């Protein structure tokens, strides 16, 4: 039996299916070179991670996939100390349409 909603990593490591989902995510992180381990600067805070678990369902309510995500618990960060700017460069949908039209 698979638990559809998990509250913690401690719950997940008790079930083989969730362990497999977690290991799959770790393999993808390593394969994609998502991060690089570095020495900790003495004047910086460490942002701790947290595992999030989600069950992807099919239309007929059967389980499609068990998904694990590793996220940063960024709430203890201090502006000006841990970061200086926050933005995400995102293209507008009109710009994407224009580029697709020009490429066609």
How many domains does the chain divide into?
Answer: 1
Cα gap 102→62, rounded to integer Å:
42
Low-confidence ranges of the chain (pLDDT < 50): none
Whether residue 70 lies inside any domain: the answer is yes
Contacting residues for 18 by C-beta, under 8 A, at least 6 apart = 2, 3, 6, 11, 12, 53, 66, 68
- Using an 8 Å Cβ cutoff, are 34 and 16 in contact? no
pLDDT value of residue 4: 67
Establish if 25 belongs to a structural domain. Answer: yes
Alpha helices of 13-104 — where are they, by DSSP H?
Answer: 16-31, 93-103
Phi, psi of 15 (to 5 degrees): -125, 130
pLDDT at 19: 92
Query: Which residue range forms the structural domain that includes residue 35?
Result: 9-78
Q: Can you give the pTM of this predicted structure?
A: 0.64
């Amino acid at each position: 039996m698979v638990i559809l909603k998990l509250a913690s990593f401690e719950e997940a490591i008790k079930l083989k299916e969730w362990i497999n989902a977690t290991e799959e995510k770790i393999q993808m992180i390593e394969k994609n070179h998502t991060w690089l381990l570095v020495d900790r600067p003495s004047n910086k805070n460490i942002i701790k991670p947290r595992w999030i678990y989600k069950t992807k369902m099919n239309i007929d309510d059967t389980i499609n996939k068990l998904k694990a995500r590793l996220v940063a618990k960024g709430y203890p960060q201090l502006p000006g100390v841990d970061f200086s700017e926050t933005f995400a460069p995102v293209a507008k949908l009109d710009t994407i349409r224009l580029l697709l039209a020009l490429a066609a």
